Amino acid sequence: MKKRGIGYASTFYGTGYGNGFPDISRAIAELGTDGNIYIYVGATEVGQGAKTILSQIAAEALGVDFSSIVFICEDTSITPDAGTAAASRQTYNTGNAIKLASEKLRNEIINILEKRYGISTENIEDYLLQVAKLNGDEALRMDGIFTASTTEMDAETGQGNPYYPYTFSVYGIEVEVDTTTGIVEVTKAVCGQDVGRAINPKLIEGQIDGGFSMGLGYGIMEDINLQSGRIKHDRFTSYLIPTALDMPDIDKIIIEEPEATGPYGAKGIGEPVLVAVAPAILNAIYNAVGVRMKEIPVTPERLLKALKVKERGV
């Protein structure tokens, strides 16, 4: 017999390293001798769209077209440290550092235009090559440093400001549970995600899809089967991960409440889109069959065992 259930889960997530740990990002904005804008930053692209988002922030701060930005990262010999691509911190932390460096570069270009050419303008794009030629072979560079505002928790009072900023999200998930086989299928999902401000909505939707896929595997599939310290499911024939066929359609609701300290109001959402998925699935399973699963992944074997225990009234 197949039974359907609906479950919800919400989460709040503190981005960045947190608890007073130094969370510093550095960036360099440069007007190259060819008239292009070069952004040097140690932000690592791991598929989250950092190169695109951070280039957009630079273009906005400078008031130039996106195509004028040359983004250089992942080369420690020429880029400043921007911290790790972890804790959903790059958009907020490194985005702020890039914004600061880009604004300083823009202001310097405006000053040069006014002092050297008597040109008073906020539109610098048409003059980039002209200003670049003034310095000959030497590029015009400005740096930006941003440190997230967090404090260590007081061990006695429990007070402090351990993270900044926080993001918030909620998932609603519908499942279909086959009580004969123990197989759980996620049939529908909706995600409401606070993003601060959506600099690139399509990339946010991609993050939600990726986070949901990870949460789906975490909740009902990915079992390493650790026995006596040895991983038994050590290959993809036994360690199952979600495929495109396992993914439901996800109704994505992007909630914008600009964060005053973020670059143009943006927050990072890399991990927050994952956290509430598995809890929502487990709540939906409970709603469908009345069994509260407390171990994940909810494999067919574990669910069938729990259903039998329920039947016996234990």
Per-residue confidence (pLDDT) for residue 314, from 0 to 100: 61
> Per residue in 289-301, pLDDT tens?
999 999 999 999 9
pTM (2 d.p.): 0.93
Give Dmax over CA atoms of the chain in angstroms: 88
Q: Which two tokens stand for residue 35?
A: 């008239």
Q: Which residue has the tokens 């197989």?
A: 183
Is 186 within 8 Å of 249 (Cβ atoms)? no
Domains 2-14+163-312 and 24-147 share a fold: yes
SS3 content of the chain, % helix, strand, coil (to 5): 35, 25, 40
Q: Which of 30, 174, 259, 271 is catalytic?
A: 271
Q: Which two tokens stand for residue 237?
A: 């024939």
Question: For the chain, which residues make up each domain, given as ranges?
Answer: 2-14+163-312, 24-147
Query: Does domain 2-14+163-312 fall into CATH 3.30.365.10?
Result: yes
Q: Would you mind telling me the total number of residues written for the chain in this entry?
A: 314
Domain covering 24-147 in this structure, CATH number: 3.30.365.10
> Per residue in 63-95, pLDDT tens?
999 999 999 998 999 999 999 999 999 999 999
Rounded CA separation 80/25 (Å): 8
> Per residue in 215-262, pLDDT tens?
999 999 999 999 999 999 999 999 999 999 999 999 999 999 999 999
CA torsion angle 6 188 242 169 (round to 10) = -70
Closest by CA to 11, choosing from 155, 215, 246, is 215
**% of the chain surpassing 90 pLDDT:** 87
Q: Which two tokens stand for residue 20?
A: 């007073």
Q: Is 108 among the catalytic positions?
A: no
